[in-house]
Amino acid sequence: MKIKHSLFSRRTFLNSLLGGWLAAVASSLLYPILKFIIPPYREPDEVELVKSEYEDLEPNSTKNFMWGSKPGILKRNSDGTFSAFVGVCTHLDCNVSYLPEQRKFYCACHDGWYDESGNNISGPPPRPLRQLGISIGDETIKILKSGQVNNEKV
Amino acid sequence: MKKSKLLAWLDERLGISQLSRFGQKKEVPQHNHSLWYYTGSSILFFFIIQIITGFMLLLYYKPTLEQANDSVAAIMTEVPFGWIIRSIHSWSASFMIAFVIIHMLSIWLTKSYRKPRELTWMSGVLLMGLSLAFGFTGYLLPWDELSLSATKVGTDIPRTIPLIGEWITKFLRGGEDVTGDTITRFFGMHVSILPLAIFLVLALHIFLIQKHGISQPLSYDREGRKARTIPFWPNFLLRESIFWLVLSGILLTVAVFFPHHLGQPADLTAPAPEGIKPEWYFLFLFQTLKIFPAHLLLIEGETLAVLLILLSAVLFFFLPVIDTDPSGKKGKIITLIAVFFIAYAVGMSLWSLL
Amino acid sequence: MKTVLIGVLILLSAGLLITGKVHAQQEIDLETRNEAKTVVHPGPQDIVEKVGIYVFLAWVWISIVVLIYFLRLKVKEADRLYELKYYDSFKKESDQQK
């Protein structure tokens, strides 16, 4: 089917070609720029703790360690085993604390409560505390990213 | 011309079409020497690249004594594409200053600074000084051995100026010596004070150009002819875009294949490295200072050199006021001085590299 | 005139490259003298990055050639319109509006 007049003018065609190619170049430049300005999320695969510093932890008490740039909480449970959590509230990222008398984790920012296993029980937190794996060696306690727990009474 | 609805909406509120009409009215002369007209906007192009890459580097650079070098190393090794951004930033600086020099020389040799464009020249000289200041302050920030030595020498030179020299050096260094305080000062100047200053002077410079129009060669003025012109928008701007595209290609290629290295963190107690040299645009000054003897008559050689350089700078600034007769004998002498200056600068720079 | 400008550009690029090399040599000399930890070597680290960079550069240069071709067409169009005094009609409009 032959049409009498062109659907668009030569000027429009040229402008579209130019603009289109410029847009392609611009978006190809966008990728490296975005990769540069948005820092990658870095998390350690494991953190090694010196066992002697954590051996004397009383049952039902906690001690902090650094999990990358976040606070980690190592808790000695009542039965003598260890639990490790990322001590960051799942609501809006405030640092949580453990209250031994009540056997609960508490977030002061918005009154969030977790039980001693890290499950969210009251207040705004939507999820339980993130639990980390533990591997107890002779000299070290390794905190692992995955949830695998190799936990013995020490 | 058919305008899209969006453009019409914006135009009613922003008056964009006024800008394009002004651009169309603005004329750019076309003649044998028109190519030099591209040099000014090239400087702007590289400056914009500096701002963008500078913003990006700002996100990761840490301006303290302990972390300066490490943060630059992190940018070059850990941050994705960090080494390219840094390389572009350092090469674009050199290109920008190169074009500043070419632009200045083309104005000098064509005597475009003659009435009524004297202030345009003077604001241009200020812009040149600010560009060199950018280069000087930026050079310290990676805090490697070359940076430290270059800054030590560079900030020591004003000391020789009688009366106020000491104060200038202390002001630049943030103290008696080049320390972490100097990094803080230079960083603040490089990212805040100098950008604001250059924007203000640039606004004046560009306003003056719009007011007086683009100058045409001396011969046209003498003969009372008006050169053939093309509109700035879109004709000249399209040609400029072509030039900018080529420049960006060259810049990217050079930045990728010749990235700037990072040296060891500066050691404040170590002696100056042998064969230390400043960046290329300071080489001729560096060599000039080198050749002056320790004492000339009763004056210290360095003081004499610095005062001579200052005197030259002042004469340079007032060039349009001095060159009252561009087509006549005085004008020809000034042209010869320009040629001599080029030969001197190139010769001294090459000599310093030997 | 064009040749002069191109000549100047080539000279400058050569000058810059020479200075770049001199600087790099200075760095390396400094390092060998200090026998300290090696200078940070910027650049693509592995073959994947290297190929990526070269492909990207090729894409950039091809785009530059293509864009210059389109821009030259636009320049010819703009010049033609100027000769035809197409823009003058808008100037007259805006002068009348004032």
For the stretch B297-327, pLDDT in tens is 777 788 888 888 899 999 999 999 988 887 8
**pLDDT of amino acid A3:** 83
Domain boundaries, chain A: 46-150
Query: Which chain C positions have a beta carbon within 8 Å of B274's beta carbon?
Result: 29, 33
The CA distance from B107 to B126, in Å, is 15
CA-based nearest distance A21→chain C, Å? 7
Q: How many Cβ contacts (< 8 angstroms) between chains B and C?
A: 125
pLDDT at position B54, please?
96
What span, in angstroms and rounded, lies between the C-alpha atoms of B222 and B225? 8
Q: Are residues C66 and C90 in the same domain?
A: yes
Question: Which residues does chain A have within 8 Å of residue C67's beta carbon, measured at their own beta carbons?
Answer: 18, 21-22, 25
Element (H, E) at A75: strand A70-76
Q: Which of B285, B331, B322 is nearest to B121 (CA)?
A: B322
Is the pLDDT at A44 greater than 90? The verdict is: no
Tell me the C-alpha distance between B171 and B268, whole Å. Answer: 19
SS3 content of chain C, % helix, strand, coil (to 5): 80, 0, 15
Please check whether residue A123 is in contact with residue A112, taking contact to mean a CB–CB distance below 8 angstroms: yes
Interface contact C78-B259, CB threshold 8 A:
no
**CATH classification code of A46-150:** 2.102.10.10
Token pair for residue A66? 């650094």
User: How does residue A39 score in pLDDT terms, banded at 50, 70 and 90?
Assistant: confident
Mutate which: C74, C79, C84, vs A, most A CBs within 10 A: C74
Mutate to test the interface with A, among B71, B79, B238 (most CBs of A within 10 A): B79
Predicted confidence at residue C4, as pLDDT, reads: 64
Q: Identify residue C26 by its one-letter amino acid code.
A: Q
Same domain as C77, residue C37: no
Cα–Cα distance measured from residue C85 to residue A145, given in angstroms and rounded to the nearest whole number: 72
Of C7 and B176, the structure prediction assigns the larger pLDDT to: B176
Tens-digit pLDDT profile for residues B139-180? 999 998 888 988 998 898 888 888 898 999 999 999 989 989
For residues A7-29, average pLDDT: 91
Phi-psi category of residue B230: left, alpha or beta, with phi > 0 → left and psi -120 to 50 → alpha: beta
Contact B81 A37 (CB under 8 A): no
Q: Is the pLDDT at C8 greater than 60, yes or no?
A: yes
CB contact (8 A) between residue C63 and residue A18: no
Sequence ranges of the domains in chain B: 28-272
For testing contact with chain C, the best of A11, A13, A15, A25 (most C CBs within 10 A): A25
Question: What is the H or E stretch that residue A122 is in?
Answer: strand A120-122
Count of CB atoms situated within 10 Å of the CB of A131: 15
Position A154 scores a pLDDT of 45
Q: Can you give the pLDDT at residue A137?
A: 84
d(CA B127, CA B199) in angstroms, rounded, equals 9
pLDDT at C35 over 50: no
Q: How confident is the model at residue A142 (pLDDT cuts 50, 70, 90)?
A: confident
pLDDT-flagged residues of chain B (< 70): 1-3
Residue A47 pairs in a beta bridge with A143
Cross-strand bridge partners of residue A83? A75
**CA B105/CA B343 separation, integer angstroms:** 12
CA distances from C18 to B102, B222, C11 (A): 18, 42, 10
Would you state the pLDDT for residue B109? 87
Contacts of C89 in chain B (CB under 8 A): none
Q: Is C98 exposed, middle or buried (0-12, 13-18, 19+ CB in 10 A)?
A: exposed
Give the residue from A33, A37, A42 with the most B CB atoms within 10 Å of its CB, the best one to mutate. Answer: A37
- Same domain, residue pair C61 and C93: yes
Q: Do C2 and B33 touch (CB under 8 A)?
A: no
CA angle B267, B271, B272 (to 5 degrees): 95
What average pLDDT does range A7-20 have in this prediction?
89
The number of folded domains in chain C is: 2
Shared domain for C62 and C22, answered yes or no, is: no
Q: Report the range of poorest mean pLDDT among A55-69, A97-111, A137-151.
A: A137-151
**Complex ipTM:** 0.84
- Omega before B234 cis (within 30°)? yes
Give yes or no for A17 touching C (CB within 8 A): yes
Residues of chain B contacting A39 with CB distance shorter than 8 Å: 79
Whether C9 and C57 share a structural domain? no
pLDDT at B1: 46
End-to-end CA distance of chain A: 86
Distance from CA of B71 to the nearest CA of C (A): 12
| Mean residue pLDDT across chain B | 89
Percent of chain B with pLDDT over 70: 99
Pick the CATH number of B28-272 from 3.10.450.50, 1.10.240.10, 1.20.810.10, 1.10.10.10: 1.20.810.10
Q: CB distance A28–C59 less than 8 Å?
A: yes
For C27, the domain range is 1-42
Whether A152 has a pLDDT exceeding 90, the answer reads no
Residue that terminates a domain, selected from C11, C26, C42: C42
Are C26 and C68 in the same domain? no
The whole-chain average pLDDT of chain C stands at: 74
* C74 touching chain A per CB within 8 A: yes
Instruction: Identify whether residues C59 and C95 lie together within a single domain.
Output: yes
Yes or no, beta carbons of C59 and A17 under 8 Å apart = no
Please check the confidence at residue A146 and state whether its pLDDT lies above 80.
no
- The 8-class DSSP code of residue A142 comes to E
Non-local (6+) Cβ contacts of B17 within 8 A are B3, B11
The minimal CB distance from A21 to the residues C56, C63, C74 is found for C63
- Tell me how far apart the alpha carbons of residues A110 and C30 are, in angstroms, rounded to a whole number: 57
Contact C67 A18 (CB under 8 A): yes
Are B146 and C26 an interchain contact pair (Cβ–Cβ within 8 Å)?
Answer: yes
d(CA B13, CA A151): 69
Q: What is the pLDDT of residue B218?
A: 82
> Least CA distance to C69: which residue of chain A?
A18
**What tokens were used for A67?**
């999990």
The overall average pLDDT reported for chain A is 87
- C51 and C34 part of one domain: no
For residue A96, give the nearest of A70, A57, A132, A134 by alpha carbon.
A70
CA distance to partner chain C, nearest, from residue B140 (Å): 15
Nearest CA among A58, C13, C1 for reference residue B250 = C13
**Cβ-contact A150, A137 below 8 angstroms:** no
**Which chains have 3 or more CB–CB distances shorter than 8 Å to chain C?**
A, B
Tell me, what's the pLDDT at C36?
A: 47
Instruction: Kindly state whether residues C93 and C55 are assigned to the same domain.
Output: yes
Query: Greatest CA span in chain C, whole angstroms?
Result: 77
Q: How close is the nearest chain A Cα to the Cα of C62, in Å?
A: 10
Nearest CB among C8, C21, C42 relative to B83 is that of C42
Cross-chain Cβ contact C12/B98 below 8 Å: yes
What pLDDT sits at residue C2? 63
**Between C32 and A68, the higher pLDDT residue:** A68
